[in-house]
């Protein structure tokens, strides 16, 4: 599995791998942890308009997709691929 090196590419890869529904749904669920994560903020992250999310945003996205937030930060692409392979469909139990 090829894993992009940038945050935008990695976030979009999670959407592809898990079949996540819409940015609105993801933002709504993540907003329970990060109040400022709006649909437009998530769209800006997915489009590359914003490329430096806070650690809280990465944690909320990691929780949503069932992965360690280190996926967004690591420079080790093999490790990132392992983390991405563990991603779950949103709403499915992890482990």
The pLDDT tens digits of the residues spanning 12-24 come to 999 988 887 788 8
Taking the model in full, what pTM does it have? 0.84
pLDDT digit string, tens, across residues 43-93: 999 999 999 999 999 999 999 999 999 999 988 888 888 888 888 766 544
pLDDT score, position 94: 46
Integer Cα distance of 50 and 20 in angstroms: 20
Dmax (CA) for the chain in angstroms is 34
């Amino acid at each position: 599995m090829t894993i992009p090196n940038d945050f935008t590419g990695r976030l979009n890869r999670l959407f592809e791998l898990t079949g996540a529904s819409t940015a609105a749904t993801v933002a709504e669920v993540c907003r329970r942890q990060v109040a400022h994560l709006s649909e437009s903020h998530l769209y800006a992250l997915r489009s590359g308009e914003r490329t430096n999310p806070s650690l809280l945003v990465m944690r909320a996205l990691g929780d949503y997709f069932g992965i360690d937030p280190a996926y967004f930060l690591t420079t080790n692409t093999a490790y990132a691929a392992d983390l991405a392979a563990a991603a779950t469909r949103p709403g499915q139990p992890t482990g």
